[in-house]
């Protein structure tokens, strides 16, 4: 699927077309230079196709829904070789494939809205260090705007922490790549 890695945007920058084999790092880097974002993976290790077909929790989920909620078109390759486009939900897509074509080969492309949202996202992770045999609860507070809304993080910053990177200003591709963690 990695050969299906195209990323393109329409003329008025309202929708982006993403190949199912694209990486979130490539998608975010492409959109960063246009000052746009897509509702997609919080970490570059998660694939575009799998995350989107699985629903897709994003930094924008609280405001605009899951990644799959923002898809305006899916392109599907059926076992017979036909490419089918449809502005339908993941649930409808799954049902249609089950009923019409018993052998589903591949989801090849999606087209999604490109909202840039200035609201907060909180990502929580439970991490295990195999060397120290210790568990750590990690929180990544993200304010997806031109600058951090420090007042929004006031109560979170009041909690004692081992480290604090509140106030780092970066783009989505850098943040998603920085948070790449090895599997537990």
Return d(Cα 42, Cα 180) in angstroms, integer: 9
Q: Which two tokens stand for residue 3?
A: 């050969």
Q: Determine how β-strand 120-129 pairs with β-strand 7-9.
A: unpaired
Domain range summary for the chain, segments of one domain joined by + = 7-113, 120-177
**How large a percentage of the chain has pLDDT more than 90?**
6
Segment 12-66, tens digit of pLDDT: 988 888 888 898 889 999 999 998 888 888 887 788 888 888 888 887 777 777 8
Return d(Cα 175, Cα 142) in angstroms, integer: 9
Return d(Cα 90, Cα 94) in angstroms, integer: 6
Q: What is the pLDDT of residue 182?
A: 47
Return d(Cα 48, Cα 103) in angstroms, integer: 22
37 and 28 in contact (C-beta within 8 Å)? yes
Residue 18: name the closest of 54, 64, 51 by CA. 51
Q: What is the pLDDT of residue 50?
A: 85
Which position has the higher pLDDT, 80 or 98? 80
| Contact residues for 139 (Cβ-Cβ < 8 A; gap 6+) | 122, 123, 124, 125, 156
Segment 93-144, tens digit of pLDDT: 555 555 554 544 556 666 666 654 445 666 767 778 889 998 877 767 776 6
| Contact residues for 5 (Cβ-Cβ < 8 A; gap 6+) | 19, 21, 22, 23, 26
DSSP structure class, residue 96: H
95 and 101 in contact (C-beta within 8 Å)? no
Pick the CATH number of 7-113 from 3.40.50.620, 3.20.20.70, 3.90.1150.110, 3.30.465.10: 3.30.465.10
Place of tokens 């339908």: 88
Q: Which two tokens stand for residue 92?
A: 């409808």
């Amino acid at each position: 699927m990695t050969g299906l890695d195209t990323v393109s945007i329409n003329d008025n920058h309202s929708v982006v077309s993403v190949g199912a084999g694209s990486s979130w790092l490539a998608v975010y880097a492409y959109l960063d230079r246009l000052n746009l974002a897509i509702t997609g993976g919080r970490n570059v290790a998660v694939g575009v196709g799998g995350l989107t077909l699985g629903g897709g929790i994003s930094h924008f989920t609280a405001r605009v829904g899951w990644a799959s909620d923002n898809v305006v078109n899916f392109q599907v390759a059926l076992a017979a070789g036909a490419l089918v486009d449809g502005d339908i939900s993941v649930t409808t897509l799954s049902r249609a494939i089950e009923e019409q074509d018993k052998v589903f080969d591949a989801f090849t492309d999606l087209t999604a809205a490109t909202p840039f949202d200035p609201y907060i996202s909180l990502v929580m992770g439970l991490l295990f260090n195999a060397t120290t045999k210790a568990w750590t609860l990690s929180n990544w507070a993200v304010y997806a705007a031109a600058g951090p809304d420090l007042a929004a993080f006031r109560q979170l910053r009041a909690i004692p922490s081992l480290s604090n990177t509140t106030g780092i200003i970066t783009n989505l591709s850098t943040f998603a790549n920085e948070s790449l963690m090895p599997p537990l």
